[in-house]
Structure 1
Amino acid sequence: MTTIELARFRVEDAAVDRMVAERPAMVEAMRRRFPGCLAAYLTREDDGGWLDVVLWRSRAEAEEAARSIDTVPECAAWFRHISASSGLRHVEVVDAWPDPA
């Protein structure tokens, strides 16, 4: 079942431009290592925090990536921009438009 990964975090203002600039390389490396990654959206919340939304083909693939994401050098380097994390969670897509499959 398609799964959405939600990761809420904070980034110091001085690191925002670099974080955004390095995002495409990080996502490409993640997609190469984890082909179950279907889409990724970096969003900024009204309070200045960030929410990373990643669409996965399955919960198993999302959970495997979460366990081993630090083994991807570009991902580990990108995570250095995060000053505080509010955690990671996975939710299963029950209905969608358009259908992500």
Structure 2
Amino acid sequence: MMVIELARFRIHDGAEEEFLAERPGMIAALRRRFPGCLAAFLTREDDGGWLDVIVWRDAEAAEESAQLITTVPECAAWLRHIADSSGIRHVSVADSWVAERLVVAG
């Protein structure tokens, strides 16, 4: 069963440009190391915080990544931008619908 990872956090003041610039390389490294990663969406909340939403093939893939994420150099480097984290949670997908052609700006 697919799992969605939700990670809410704030980044250090002045880090946004680097944080966003390093994101594509971090996601590419994450996908190489953890092939169960199906999609990733970085969102900005109204209060200035961030919510990272990652879709995983199953709970095992999500848990493996959560345990080993800092062993991937690009991921560890990207995480340095996080000033305050509310932690991560994993939720199981009970039902889903995806547009035939999902186009996301990136």
Say whether the fold is shared (TM-score over 0.5). yes
Structure 1 residues 60-100: Cα deviation after superposition (integer angstroms, max 9, x where no partner): 1100110000000000000000000011000000000128x
Aligned to 2:103: none
Query: Whole-Å Cα distance in 2 between the matches of residues 36 and 11 of structure 1?
Result: 26
Q: CA deviation at 1:12?
A: 2.3
Query: Whole-Å Cα distance in 2 between the matches of residues 12 and 83 of structure 1?
Result: 5
Query: Whole-Å Cα distance in 2 between the matches of residues 54 and 19 of structure 1?
Result: 17
| Partner amino acid, structure 1, of 2:44 | R
The answer to whether 1:74 aligns with 2:74 is yes
Aligned to 2:85: 85
Q: Which blocks of at least 5 consecutive residues in structure 1 are unaligned?
A: none
The answer to whether 1:51 aligns with 2:51 is yes
- TM-score normalised to structure 2 length: 0.91
| Percent of residue pairs bearing the same amino acid type | 66
Aligned length: 99
Larger displacement relative to structure 2 (47-56 or 12-21): 12-21
Structure 1 residues 27-73: Cα deviation after superposition (integer angstroms, max 9, x where no partner): 00000000000000000000000000000000111001100000000
Which has the larger share of helix?
Answer: 1
Give the alignment's Cα RMSD to 1 decimal: 1.0
Structure 1 runs of 4+ aligned residues shifted over 2 Å read none
- TM-score normalised to structure 1 length: 0.96
Query: Whole-Å Cα distance in 2 between the matches of residues 80 and 50 of structure 1?
Result: 14
Q: Which blocks of at least 5 consecutive residues in structure 2 are unaligned?
A: 100-106
SS in 1 for 2:14: helix
